[in-house]
Amino acid sequence: METAYIKTPLGIAAITGDENGVAIISVTDEGIASTEIPLFLQIAVQQLQEYFDSKRTDFTFLLNPKGTEFQQKVWKSLVNIPFGKTKTYLEQSKGLGDVKAIRAVASANGKNPLWIVVPCHRVIGSDGSLTGYAGGLWRKKWLLEHENPTTQQSLFQ
């Protein structure tokens, strides 16, 4: 596994993976951008930069996150939330076939290793509140406003 670091409007993104795909994308407030990007991470770096430049709404590079079978199922459901849209934790649980699994679903979302690409930031509370985002609620708000500036700004002011 190798890691590339890129500067984003939300901090330094660390992209970790190998020839089998990207396993982890995380963000931090500290660090410096990489001067050289491993070949197998270049497409991920390019697509993330396009996302932040408002030139990309989905990602096509190979993903290889590590997690339990349940976590993988939850993360796959996140990818189906369209760009610029949100879903509640309850709606996500219902979509997975078990409304009572809401806490387990929220926990799996919190363990999502692929920041932005597997869009757990698009999941909100049933009352429309911004809740439960490992990267910090200010980043969640920024991402939702970035993806849908007109609707989201009015929701979260």
Residues labelled as active-site residues: 120
Helix axis angle, 102-110 relative to 69-79, nearest 10°? 80
Tracing tokens 């189906």 back to the chain, one arrives at 80
| CA separation for the pair 97, 90 (Å, rounded) | 11
Nearest to 119 by CA among 94, 98, 148: 148
SS3 63: strand
How far out from the chain centre does Cα 25 lie? Answer: 8
